[in-house]
Amino acid sequence: MTKVKITDTSYVRDIHSKAILNSDKTKLDDYNARKNMMSKINEINTLKQEVSEIKETMNKILSLLSENK
């Protein structure tokens, strides 16, 4: 892939596809860190929801068991 630096920016242009790309490694690393953090936050929220559903189900089961005594 042949790239040409765009003057006074951190961008380069891919000659073949004409795409403009950011060549700033720090910004890419920051983006990936934010993306990973959001993924972990989403996973935590999913787990919280699942635990809440399990607790609700357990309470229903306990309630049914106490009614049948």
Residue 3, classified by CB atoms within 10 Å of its CB into exposed (0-12), middle (13-18) or buried (19+), is middle
Beta-strand ranges (E) seen in 9-56 are: 11-14, 20-22
Is the whole model's pTM more than 0.75, yes or no? no
Q: Along the 69 residues of the chain, how does pLDDT read in single tens digits?
A: 699 999 889 899 999 999 999 889 999 999 999 999 999 999 999 999 999 999 999 999 999 999 987
pLDDT given for residue 68 in this prediction: 82
